[in-house]
Chains A and B, each alone.
Chain A
Amino acid sequence: MEFKVNSKSLEKLLTKIIPAVPSRTPMPILENFLFELKDGLLTIYATDLEIALKSSLNVVAEENMKLVVPARLLYDIVRSLQETTILFQITPGGKINLKTDNGVYTISYLLPEEFPDIPTFPEPGSTSTENIGEVIISGNELKRAIDQTSFAMSKEDMRPAMMGTLMEFTEEGLRFVSTDGHRLVNLLKKEIHLTYNEQYIVPERAISVLVKILEEKDVKILLSKTYISYKVGDIEFITRLIAQKYPDYKSVIPLENENKLKIRTAELLSAVKRMLLFSPTNSRKVKFSITANNVEISAEDIDQGAFAKENIYCEYSGESIDIGFNSAYVNDVISHLQTEEEIYFKLHSPTKAVIIEPVKKKDNEDIMMLLMPVRLNN
């Protein structure tokens, strides 16, 4: 049994698939690719049981077969080769010889029976009882949405639902929400709809892999109760969803925040970055003293004997207020609004959530961030 493949096209394919190969796992078989050769089409699978990636390319082959190949080793060899044709020779003794013009590389393979099943979605139009949603989004748009929201996901396993990004289909459009309990991002893409309303929580690991494979091309998304599938070109990415209820984020968005602060994003961001250097390492506390046309932001690290303050021009309508934040969180939030020229801080009191949003609204999207303050003890 043998087949031929171009080294560069194989490398390109493996680069897309390898993110699903776990680096440490109690199931060693998962450190392999599953090769499936059928009618001249080579399909390669990788999974860590939570996420799975698959992609195919055409090869020159006469037989059909399935085998399990060590992922990291194969990837590293293929990656280090110049552009050439690789001949895969499968021997009955459990070895594969990879032959190039001037080299032979022998690796071992395993039988496919042990490889876990990869979740599949029923083909459109098939007679499945399960309700499968389908939506198409531009790859760029999805990537931007993920970039803007995913930073706020929680890293603590106290509330598993918060360790993912919520994709919620509503009448208004598709909403991306992520939060760790200290800050929250709520992004609405108005033009993306599904025929029904539903919530899907995509786990953190899936988000980080998805960002790597997204391209300009459109992405076809299939949704079931337990899995979500993203099709990007010839790659299919399937992930298990977090089967938990997402916290009720709508109820925590304050309505009574009437004190509006308007400020230039770039100026604030650069000042916050400097304050970050002076904030205490444990609390990262920074103080905003807001008056009619001025915000004084200051930070003090008593342990280091360091103090800094800066004044920034702003427009502010409410009563003067002193409010504390974790400067790392402020930095995160504002960095993700960098493209906006000016932003609003909508405040209520020094212990209540603050809404941060762009001054200029866009037609097709709405973004809102929520930041909880840090109590100032004075």
Chain B
Amino acid sequence: MRTIFHLDLDAFFVSVERIIDPTLEGKPVIVGADPKQGRGVISACSYEARRYGLHSAMPIKMAYRLCPNGIYLHGHYQEYCRYSEAVKNILCRYAPVIEQASIDEFYMDFTGCEKLYGSFFMYASFLQKTIWKELSLPSSVGIGSNKTIAKIASDCMKPKGITYVIPGMEEEFLRRMPVETIPGVGKVTLRDLNAKGFYKIGDIAKAPLQYFSSCFGQCGTDLWEKAHGRGIEFLSPGHDRKSISKEHTYGQDVIDRKIIEQTLFNLVSKVCQGLRDEGLQTSTIGIKLRYTDFITLTRAKTIRPTSDDKEVYETVLQLFRKNHTRRVAVRLIGVHLSKLEEFSEQEFIFEDEKIRRKKMFQAVDSLRAKYGYASINVGVAQPSKNA
């Protein structure tokens, strides 16, 4: 039996905003899109704002209607990253194995540490207090025998809660919870489950596996396993990144191709930086295009492995120009890099140009590491229109 901790920073973005501006304490704070623009969603909101019925991922327009007196902030993403890194550093001091699931979520494997650290409950409290003392960030911890249980547990007693699911009690713990508590159950799955009469996790656990997997396929089998309190027991601390992507939703839908191509350029620049930061190369490059009528298309192309802005941008432009055939305004545009592999250390016979660019990117990377992403931009000559 393993012991997995899931530590979730409570209303993380809001907590950081409160460190930057302490006067926000006790007020309904909403981080996300600008409600005046009327587009986009809530990234995070304080518990005070949640009393008005707000929750993350809610359209900002609706939020504004529910809570017009809230304090709407656009957010300081770089600060969030800095604090997230700081939390990770604290956790690394104590946890033998750690996996960062997102900017504000961490899994830790404390299996076999009870002799060392005593009661897990007390230890979770110690971690919480340490983070609070050093960074003034509140957090909640869930402890369970696998990742799913730990995650559900950490969500149980927010904010500043600790939930320890005693091994063997997983099914009982889950039995009365609504099915949407299981991570991965979204709107669509929820609707399908409800349609078949599954409202509580216990309902799923009671159903025979065969019935469940025939209704929902592999997803169903996973869901059924989760309902029985089983899940992934091992963390993957290494960066086993499968893809890197960035999207941009326009404040106002855009029809001008030049503007879209400019956005693509900025997105490419960001994803390529992410790629190089992790020492990776991509060989499958994709774009996502969503029109104002929500018709969305994704297209991808495979080229030889690269992390060069120029090569990626050329491919992206090619894909965009080939596939953007409708005369309809564009709402969202995105770039998606997949089939990632480690940076090749193979030397080239002819390609002096390649070596020059490699050196250039090394310089860009170190400048950005020191002075921030925006300190320098890589220029790319615009390929001709009929390319």
Task: Write the residues of chain A forming the contact surface with B, with a CB cutoff of 8 angstroms.
Answer: 156, 158, 179, 181-184, 247, 252, 282-283, 285, 324, 326, 351, 353, 370, 372-377
**CB pair A252 B341 closer than 8 Å:** no
Cα distance A247–B349 in the bound complex, in angstroms: 10
Q: Which residues of B contact A158 (CB under 8 A)?
A: 304
Q: Contact between A370 and B304 (Cβ–Cβ < 8 Å)? A: no
Evaluate contact between B304 and A181: CB separation under 8 angstroms. no
Query: Could you mark each residue 190-233 of chain B with 1 if its beta carbon is under 8 Å from any beta carbon of chain A, else 0?
Result: 00000000000000000000000000000000000000000000
How many whole Å from B379's CB to the nearest CB in chain A? 22
On whether the beta carbons of B350 and A181 are closer than 8 Å, the reply is yes
Cα A184 to Cα B349 with chains together (Å): 8
Nearest opposing residue in chain B for A251, CB measure: B350
Q: Chain B 269-290 against A: per-residue CB contact (8 Å), 1 yes, 0 no?
A: 0000000000000000000000
In the complex, what residues of A have CB within 8 A of residue B350's CB?
179, 181, 247, 252
Which residues of chain B come closer than 8 Å to A377, judged between CB atoms?
Answer: 345
Beta-carbon nearest neighbor of A247 in chain B: B350
Q: Assuming the A-B contacts A156-B304, A158-B304, are A182 and B345 also in contact, with contact meaning beta carbons closer than 8 angstroms in the complex? A: no
Chain A residues within 8 Å of B21, by CB: none
21 pairs from A and B in contact (CB 8 Å cutoff): A179-B349, A179-B350, A182-B346, A182-B347, A182-B349, A183-B349, A282-B342, A282-B344, A283-B342, A283-B344, A285-B345, A324-B345, A351-B347, A353-B347, A353-B349, A372-B346, A372-B347, A372-B348, A373-B347, A375-B346, A375-B347
Chain A binding surface SS class? loop
Taking CB atoms, residues of chain A closer than 8 Å to B256 are none
Decide yes or no: A181 and B345 within 8 Å by CB, A156-B304, A158-B304 being known contacts.
no
Smallest CB separation, B357 vs chain A (Å): 14
20 extra interface residue pairs, beta carbon distance < 8 Å, beyond A179-B349, A324-B345, A372-B349: A158-B304, A181-B349, A181-B350, A181-B351, A182-B348, A183-B349, A184-B349, A247-B350, A282-B344, A283-B342, A283-B344, A283-B346, A351-B347, A373-B347, A374-B344, A374-B346, A375-B345, A375-B346, A376-B345, A377-B345
Enumerate chain A residues within 8 angstroms of B347, measured Cβ to Cβ: 182, 351, 353, 372-375
Most A-side CB within 10 Å, residue of B344, B347, B348: B347
Question: Is B349 within 8 A of A252, CB to CB?
Answer: yes
What DSSP secondary structure best describes chain B's contact surface? Answer: loop
Interface string of B343-369 (1 = CB under 8 A from A): 011111111000000000000000000
Interface size classification for chain B: 10 to 19
Bound: A247/B350 CA distance, A: 8
Q: Write the nearest CB–CB distance from A208 to chain B, whole angstroms.
A: 22
Is B349 within 8 A of A370, CB to CB?
yes
Chain B proximity of A373: nearest CB distance (Å): 6
Given contacts A156-B304, A158-B304, contact A283 B349 (CB under 8 A): no
Contacts of A181 in B (CB 8 A): 348-351
> Which residues of the partner chain B approach A353 to less than 8 Å between Cβ atoms?
347, 349
Closest to B348 in A: A181
Q: Which residue of B lies closest to A372 (CB)?
A: B347
Residues of A within 8 A of B345 (CB): 283, 285, 324, 374-377
Contacts of B304 in A (CB 8 A): 156, 158
- Residue in B348, B349, B351 whose Cβ sees the most chain A Cβ within 10 Å: B349
B213-257 with Cβ < 8 A to chain A = none
Most buried by A among B341, B342, B344: B344
CB distance from A109 to the nearest CB of B (A): 40
User: Known: A156-B304, A158-B304, A181-B351. Is A282-B346 also a contact (CB below 8 A)?
Assistant: no
| The 9 A-B residue pairs with the shortest CB-CB distance in the complex, in nearest-first order | A375-B345, A372-B347, A374-B345, A247-B350, A374-B346, A181-B348, A252-B349, A282-B341, A181-B349
A249 smallest CB distance to B (angstroms): 8
Please measure, in the bound complex, the distance between the C-alpha atom of A48 and the C-alpha atom of B350, giving whole angstroms: 32
Kindly list chain B residues whose C-beta atoms are within 8 Å of the C-beta of A375: 345-347
